[in-house]
Structure formats: C-alpha cells, structure tokens
C-alpha cells in the first residue's frame, strides 16, 4: 500500500500591519493524505461534488471538469459575505468535501504560522520548515502502518520548489541513515488543474484552516482585510472543528510528546495549537 500526501498553501510572506491591510496575517501549509487505493474514489467524488454545486459543469468534457477549480480563496470570501445564500453554498461544499475525506480514509496535517505584526517573514525558511513538518508526520504514519508514501506539492516556481525540498533530499541520503525511509522519493510537484486531490488540499488550506486561524489568532486585527467580516468564521469551528480534529494524524514522538496533525506557531500572541479547533 502506498499513501500519497497532496500539499497546498494559503497566504504568503508579506508583512502584515495596519500599513499593509491586504497582507494575510497567517501562512498555512496543509497536507491531505489518501491511500492509493482510495485516490480514484476521492477524485471521482470531488468531481461529482463540482457538478452538484455548479450545474453549468453537468455536460462539459471530462478534461474541462478536472481543470475547473472551486478555489478555496473564493469560498473564504463567500463565507464572510452578507448574503446568506453564498455562505450556505460555501458551507455545503466544505461539508461534502470533509465527508469525502472521511469516507476515503484520508488524514490531515499541516503548519500554521501566525505572523508578528510589522515583521517580515522569510518565505523560504517558513515554507521549507512547514514541508519538513508534513514529511515528518507522513513518515510517522507510514512507519506505524508499514507502508510507503510520497508527497506531492502544488508547484510554485523552480527556485522555490528546489529550495523547499532540498533539506528532505539531504536527510534521505545523510551519512547517519535515511530520516525518511518510508518515503519513495523526495517531494514531487504537480499542478492543481491536473491533480484533483491538490484542489481538495487547496480547500482545506484556504477555506478551512486559514479562516479558522484568522478567527482564533488574529481577531483583533480589525484593520486587516482577511479578518474583516470574520465573525462568520467562528461558525466554521463550531461546525467543522471536531471533524477536522478527527482527521488529523497525531502520534507520540521519542520524547513522549503528542505531535503531528496541525501545528500552530503563533508569533503574534503565543496562543496554543489546540485553540484552532476548539475553545
């Protein structure tokens, strides 16, 4: 059995401050891991979800159905819209997406960086550190089940791609032994318009984890565009928090700590990770 972890991001390294209200206050990297024998079921299910929520797709060619994306950033805007119809549609899509993940034995993990107001973020180190967290979590789950796996990252640019996986490649061939013996290869790259599970990872990162992080850790950033109207995000935690938590892969590390799943680094107010999904 092989497990595939599809990874996407939400947010960037831009300085977040009252002088830069459009900059996202958080950076999220989320991974959706699916067993290889469930990947086709997950993909077909999501394609049917697209047609159910966008009737115009009912008779399009298969290739166009795959390429058409329901973007997480768009759903996030809909979640804070004044119109109830838009919010209800967005919640419906997320609800059905989580049901697909649950039905296909998927696991979730990721990294959330809450920025310190007014301080720049090093994109290369933050992204690479987040990928390292996901690789370590995937390796733990593969070791526990005696299986193998691979990470598929949404492709950025060649320079960014290389920098973000070089440390994992180095650790796989280090003198002291492979740090990721259950990974078949260093992370590879795909495009969301051809890899449907990357589209699902985008929804998890952009329409679930990102708004939850804004609501929980950045509510006082009233000057930030991404927090404006975020009172609707609180309903996300009430509706989906426990389901997201149940989908996390968490484990006990060598020091006896419970790790894995989603990990939050709050550089703004130093609040704990567990608040992401429950008060």
Q: What pLDDT sits at residue 271?
A: 96
Strand 148-154 versus strand 2-10 pairing type: parallel
Task: Please tell me which residue, 197 or 119, carries the higher pLDDT value.
Answer: 197
**Contact of 190 with 155, CB cutoff 8 Å:** yes
Q: What is the extent of the structural domain holding 260?
A: 2-276
- CATH number for the domain harbouring residue 70: 3.30.420.10
Measured in degrees and rounded to the nearest 5, phi and psi for residue 184 equal -70, -30
Q: How many domains does the chain have?
A: 1
pLDDT digits (tens, 9 = 90+) for 60-79: 999 999 999 999 999 999 99
Q: Given a cut of 90, is residue 234 above it in pLDDT?
A: no
Q: Given a cut of 80, is residue 124 above it in pLDDT?
A: no
pLDDT digits (tens, 9 = 90+) for 148-201: 999 999 987 666 667 667 778 888 888 778 889 999 998 999 999 999 999 999
Q: What pLDDT sits at residue 158?
A: 62
Three-class secondary structure of residue 69 per DSSP: coil
């Amino acid at each position: 059995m092989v497990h595939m972890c599809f990874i996407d991001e939400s947010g960037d390294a831009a300085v977040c401050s009252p002088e830069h209200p459009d900059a996202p206050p958080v950076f999220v990297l989320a991974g959706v891991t699916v067993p290889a024998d469930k990947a086709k079921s997950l993909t077909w299910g999501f394609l049917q979800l697209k047609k159910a929520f966008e009737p115009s797709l009912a008779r399009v060619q298969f290739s166009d159905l795959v390429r058409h994306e329901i973007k997480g950033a768009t759903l996030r805007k809909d979640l804070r819209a004044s119109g109830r119809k838009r919010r209800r549609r967005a919640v419906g899509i997320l609800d059905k997406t989580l049901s697909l993940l649950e039905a296909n034995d998927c696991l979730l993990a990721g990294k959330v960086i809450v920025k310190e107001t007014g301080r720049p973020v090093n994109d290369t180190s933050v992204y690479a550190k987040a990928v390292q967290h996901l690789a370590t979590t995937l390796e733990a789950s593969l070791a526990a089940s005696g299986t193998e796996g691979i990470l598929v990252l949404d492709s950025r640019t060649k320079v960014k791609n290389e920098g973000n996986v070089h440390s994992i490649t180095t650790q796989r061939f280090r003198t002291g032994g492979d740090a990721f013996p259950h990974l078949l290869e260093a992370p590879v790259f795909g495009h969301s318009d051809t890899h449907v599970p990357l589209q699902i990872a985008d929804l998890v990162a952009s329409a679930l984890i990102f708004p939850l992080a804004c609501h929980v850790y950045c509510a006082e950033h009233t000057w930030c565009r991404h927090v404006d109207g975020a009172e609707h995000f609180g309903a996300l935690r009430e509706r989906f928090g426990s389901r997201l938590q149940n989908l996390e892969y968490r484990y006990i590390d060598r020091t006896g700590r419970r790790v894995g799943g989603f990990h939050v680094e709050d550089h703004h107010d130093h609040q704990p990770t567990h608040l992401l999904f429950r008060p």
